[in-house]
Structure 1
Amino acid sequence: MGTLAGHLVPGSALALLGLWHIINTVQAYHLKGPKHFRSCFWHSLTSPFSKLAYMELVLIISFSIFSIVMQVLDYPLFSFAFKLNNYEHATMFLHLMIYAGFTLVTAIMHKSDILFEVSGVLAASVFGQELFLLHCHSADHVGLEGHYHWLMQLIVFVSLVSALSTTKCSSSFPSSLVLSISVVFQGLWFINMGFMLWVPEFVPKGCTIRLGHGGDSDMHGAVMCGTHKAGLRARALANLQFSWILAGIMIFVGCICLFSAKKVTPRVQSIEYERLNSRVAEIPLSVAGFKQVNYP
C-alpha cells in the first residue's frame, strides 16, 4: 500500500461502501420508523435478477481477493518477496473476506435474521484486526506519517465500538448510522493519507518525502520535516484535515436525512388517522328510534 494508488483504490472502495450504507440506513429508518427499524450489515440491491441482490457481498469478496493477491505479489514490483507489512495488509482483507463470505452464505440460505449476531461479531473482528495490525505495524511509522496513522486508528476504534453496539442493539439507528459514517471516514482518510504522504505537491511546507530503496526496514515514503516547527505545523494541518473531512461527511448525512424525511410521509399522521378511526368505530350508533325510509 506504499503508493498513491495503494491508498486511493481501497480508500475509494471503503468510501463508496460507507455511502451506500448511509443512504440505505437512513431510508430504512424513515420508511420503517423507530419501532420497526432493524440494522443490517449489508444491503441487497433492488433488481429483477435475484443473483444481483447479493452484489454488495460479492464485490467485497472479489475486492478482498484482489487486494490479497496484490499484496502478496508486492504491487507494483510483482514479486514473491516476503514483506511483513504486505502480509499484514493482506491479513486485514482476509478478515474482510471471511465476514463477507459467511454473510453471503447466510443470505443465500435465508438465515440472515437468525445469524445476524454472528455476522456482527465477524464485522467487528474486521475492525478489531485492522486496529490491532495498524497499532502493531511492522513498519513502525514515525513523525508525520505516524500521526496520520494514529488518527486512522481513532476512526477504526469508532468502527469497532459501533459494530459491537449494532450487534448488541440491532434496533439502534444511531449505532448503525455511526458505523456507516466511520466506514466512509476510513475511506476518505485513507485517500487523504495517499495524497498528503505520497504526492510531493501536497507535502506540507518544510517537509519532504524520503523514498526507501527496498527492504522491510526502510520507511518507504516517510515524510521527514526539517525543523520541529515544521513538524508541528504539519501535524496541525493533519488535525484540521481530520475535522474538515468529518464536517463534510456530517453535512452529507444531514442532507440525506432531510431529503429522506421530506420524501416519506410522516408516520405520526398515519397513527393519528388510525386512532381517529378507532374512536369512530367505538361510538355506538343509536338508530333504534329512526324509521327506515325507502325511496322509489
Structure 2
Amino acid sequence: MASLATHLSAFLFFVPIGVRRLLCSSSLYLKNPSFFKSKPWYFSSPKWKNLDLYILSIALPIASFTQIFIFLSISGHPTYRFSFFQQSAALFLFWILIIFFVLHESLDHFLFNESFVFIYAAIAFLVEYSVIGVGITGLGTAVYGLLAQLTLVCAASCLVLSVKPTAFFAEFVLSIALVFKGTWFFQAGLCLYTDAFALKGCNKMLLLPGSPNADVHCELEEDGMRGMALVNLLFAVHAIGIVIASFVLFGLLSSYSSLRFGEASGPLLAQLESESTLMHSSQELEIE
C-alpha cells in the first residue's frame, strides 16, 4: 500500500474479475434460474479467452516476490518491515487460488472441490483483512477501514457460496464487492498518495519521523474533520454508482439476450444441466 502504482495494480486486479463474475453469473442465472450454480471461475471457450486468468497467474507471484524483496531490503522499524511480509503472504494466497483455477480441468473433481475453493477464498480475504491498514494512522485509517469492510463482505459471500452455491444473491454481492474494492483501492491511492488529488488542507501519506507508521498530515483539525467527511461521502458515491450500474447491467442482460456472456449458453450451462439431471435422477431413485 505504499504508492499509487500499488493501488492501481489492485484496481486492475479486482475490477475485471468482479465485472467478469457479474456478467457470467447474471447471464447464467437469466438463462435458467433453476440451473444456476456459482462457479469459482467462469471459464470461456476457446481457452485463449481466459487470458486474464493466465495473466494473473504470472502477475501475482511477481508482485508477491517484489513485496518480499522490499521486506528484505528496507531498513527501518521491524513492525514496518513485518507489514511487507504480511502483504506478500496475502498476495501468495491469492496466487494459490489462481493456480486452483488454472488447474481446474486437469485436477480430479474430488481434489478440486468447489466448496473447498470458496472456503479457501474466504480465508484469503480474511488474511487480506488482517493486512489492510497495517502501519497507517489518522485519516488513512478511515480510508482503509472502509476497504476492510468490503473485504469482510467478500469473505462472507464466499462462505455462503461454499455452503449454498445456488445462492445467486451471494454471487451478486461478491461480484459488486470485488468491483467496489477495486474502485476504492484506486480512490484511496489518489487521495492518500498524490498531491494533485489530496484532500483539501492535507498532504499525501508520509512516514512519521522516528515511527513505523504513516499518516496524512492536515494543517488544521478542521481540515482533518472535513477530510473524514469527504472520505465517507466518496465511499457513498462509489457504493451508489456501482450498485446502480450493476442493476442496469442486469436489466440490460435480462432484456437483450444477445448481450449475455456466451459461456451461459455453452459448455458451462450444459455441465450444470447434466449435474442437475443427475441430482434429480438420484432423488427419484431414493423416492422409489
TM-score norm. by structure 1 comes to 0.78
Q: Does 1:159 align with 2:154?
A: yes
Cα pair 1:106 1:112 within 8 Å, conserved: no
Tell me the SS of whatever aligns to 2:103. helix
Q: Does 1:212 align with 2:207?
A: yes
How many Å apart are 1:54 and its aligned residue?
Answer: 5.0
How many Å apart are 1:227 and its aligned residue?
Answer: 2.2
Q: After alignment, is 96-105 or 173-182 more displaced?
A: 96-105
**What is the count of residue pairs matched by the alignment?**
253
1:258-281 Cα distance to aligned partner (Å, 9 max, x none) = 11111239xxxxxxxxxxxxxxxx
Alignment partner, residue 199 of structure 1: 194
In structure 2, how many angstroms separate the alpha carbons of the residues matched to 1:210 and 1:106? 41
Alignment partner, residue 15 of structure 2: 15
Q: Which runs of 5+ in 2 are unaligned?
A: 76-80, 259-288
Q: Does 1:238 align with 2:231?
A: yes
In structure 2, how many angstroms separate the alpha carbons of the residues matched to 1:45 and 1:103? 12
Q: After alignment, is 106-115 or 224-233 more displaced?
A: 106-115
Q: Which has the higher contact order (CA 8 A, sep 6+)?
A: 2
In structure 1, how many angstroms separate the alpha carbons of the residues matched to 2:130 and 2:84? 15
- Rg: which structure is higher? 1
In structure 2, how many angstroms separate the alpha carbons of the residues matched to 1:215 and 1:16? 40
Matches within 5 A, 1:281-292: none
Match of 1:146 among 141, 145, 166: 141
How many Å apart are 1:113 and its aligned residue?
Answer: 9.8
Change (3 A) 1:145 1:93: same
Tell me the SS of whatever aligns to 2:105. helix
1:122-179 Cα distance to aligned partner (Å, 9 max, x none) = 11111111112226x2x1x111101101111110111111110111110011000101
What's the C-alpha RMSD, in Å, of the aligned pairs?
A: 2.4
Identity %: 22
In structure 1, how many angstroms separate the alpha carbons of the residues matched to 2:233 and 2:208? 32
In structure 2, how many angstroms separate the alpha carbons of the residues matched to 1:201 and 1:124? 36
How many Å apart are 1:112 and its aligned residue?
Answer: 7.9
Cα pair 1:84 1:216 within 8 Å, conserved: no
Q: After alignment, is 197-206 or 66-75 more displaced?
A: 66-75
In structure 2, how many angstroms separate the alpha carbons of the residues matched to 1:68 and 1:183? 20
In structure 2, how many angstroms separate the alpha carbons of the residues matched to 1:60 and 1:214? 37
Match of 2:63 among 63, 67, 84: 67
Q: Does 1:190 align with 2:192?
A: no
In structure 2, how many angstroms separate the alpha carbons of the residues matched to 1:71 and 1:214? 23
Alignment partner, residue 38 of structure 1: 37
Change (3 A) 1:227 1:43: same
Cα pair 1:209 1:223 within 8 Å, conserved: yes
Change (3 A) 1:40 1:215: farther
Tell me the SS of whatever aligns to 1:175. helix
Match of 1:255 among 248, 258, 274: 248
Alignment partner, residue 94 of structure 1: 92
1:67-99 Cα distance to aligned partner (Å, 9 max, x none) = 112212339xxx733722221111111110122
Change (3 A) 1:118 1:57: farther
Cα pair 2:191 2:204 within 8 Å, conserved: no
How many Å apart are 1:181 and its aligned residue?
Answer: 0.8
Q: Which runs of 5+ in 1 are unaligned?
A: 266-296
